Structure 1
Amino acid sequence: MGRSSKEEAARTRLRILAAASDLFRKSGAERVSVADIMAAAGLTTGGFYKHFASKEALVAEATALAFAQSDEGWARLAAAQPEEGAGTAALRAALVRHYLRPTPEQRCPMIAFAAPGAEHSAPSEPASKDSGLAYRDGVAALLARFADPGTAANPARPEAPPPGESLSDEALVLFAAMIGARVLGEASASAPWIAPLRTAVIRAAEAEAVTEARVDAKAQE
């Protein structure tokens, strides 16, 4: 295969991967077929197996891509905050407000790619196991981002430090509450208690930021 052919194949592969990641985030991997993916990419179904060994192998790569995109998005959001008063808790509060906005553009990969038990797939299902590990590592990377929003995005999706070393119990509860509120918002968007639930989680994040600012100010006296 010549250089131009290899480059074209690489571009096509990325096209399929991007289309799959978007579809999986919208509908869930189990509801999307290979034909759906190839149609979204503007390609014929028969060409799929020239680029991926199986749909399961594609799911693993799409999972990693979606989490990397979220991590980069969180990093950009933190970097865009005003420097004044942008302590760790203030940046975290900005992430919570963004995450719990009423009309997000895409589903969170922590929700869209959740597949209980995937990490413990049988050895005969290596691709499914890979997607489970990609999910675990992706959540760990976002937890690490939540612990320190101001660090640069890392495409290697590093493992989060042990929670006891990187996040207080309050911050861990906030992370879980943020995700839970988003899950419930997707499941029961019209429920009258969704907006108050989002507001309560955001207020908790903002209260942590206020406390941090007071502690910092007192330390500088």
Structure 2
Amino acid sequence: MGRVSQAQAEENRRRVVETASRLFREQGTHVSVADLMKAAGLTHGGFYKQFASKEALIDEATAHAFEGLTQLRDAGLEQYAGQREAAQQALIDIYLSTEHRDDAADGCPAAALAADMARGAGDRDAHRVYTEGVSDFAEWLATEDQDGITRLCTMVGALVLARATKGSPLSEEILTTARAALTATS
């Protein structure tokens, strides 16, 4: 088999990072390199041509996931013509929906990666990116009436609990109750 072009190598790397970002949010960072590369449609041997280690990929995939969250927030702000509270409310409604609950792979990295970050080494780049992403998200959620950390904790906690109780009436109740609490305080 011949060497791949630089453009193809960059495309392969992008595909691995995107796939890892989705799989890590859906299944956790314990996903094997072999399974990850298979999901990306590439060979296991190609991994080490692209990344120094699985930890390096976790770092990059975490950053990618938070970049996606920032893009979602920015798109909402643009959609609501800069009206921050309207954009925040729309994001809260999407965040605390059954669709988001059921789609961890494309969902919020703050909720999906929390347990992995808590177990991982605090000096890793992924932990720094995660911490900065959570802080930035909380800052964006702040209103004149309520700090963003309270709102973010309500959202992330509700999402984690709703996912853990999926299939029961409690799951829907958690989402509905959290959404109502955040609407009442905005």
Where on the TM-score scale, by shorter chain, does this alignment land: which range? 0.7 to 0.9
Contact 2:145 2:185 in 1 (8 A): no
Task: Report the equivalent of 2:34.
Answer: 35
Q: Does 1:145 align with 2:119?
A: no
Q: Does 1:190 align with 2:167?
A: yes
Q: Does 1:102 align with 2:98?
A: yes
Contact 2:25 2:113 in 1 (8 A): yes
CA RMSD of aligned residues (A): 2.2
| Paired AA for residue 174 in structure 1 | R
Q: Does 1:134 align with 2:129?
A: yes
> How many angstroms apart in 2 are the aligned matches of 1:168 and 1:119?
35
SS in 1 for 2:9: helix
> How many angstroms apart in 1 are the aligned matches of 2:17 and 2:157?
28
CA shift, 1:174, in A, is: 2.2
- Rg: which structure is higher? 1
| Paired AA for residue 73 in structure 1 | L
Closer/same/farther in 2, CA of residues 117 and 29 from structure 1, 3 Å limit: closer
- TM-score by length of structure 2 reads 0.83
Closer/same/farther in 2, CA of residues 119 and 135 from structure 1, 3 Å limit: farther
- Structure 2: gaps spanning 5 or more residues: none
| Paired AA for residue 126 in structure 2 | S
Identity, % of aligned positions = 36
User: Bigger shift: 172-181 or 88-97?
Assistant: 88-97
> How many angstroms apart in 1 are the aligned matches of 2:136 and 2:149?
14
Structure with greater helix share of residues: 2
CA shift, 1:143, in A, is: 1.9
Tell me how many residue pairs correspond in the alignment: 177
CA shift, 1:192, in A, is: 2.4
SS in 1 for 2:98: coil
Contact 1:75 1:145 in 2 (8 A): no
- Structure 1: gaps spanning 5 or more residues: 122-128, 148-165, 210-221
Contact 1:23 1:37 in 2 (8 A): yes
Contact 2:141 2:147 in 1 (8 A): no
Closer/same/farther in 2, CA of residues 26 and 33 from structure 1, 3 Å limit: same
Task: Report the equivalent of 1:202.
Answer: 179
Task: Report the equivalent of 1:74.
Answer: 73
Closer/same/farther in 2, CA of residues 27 and 33 from structure 1, 3 Å limit: same
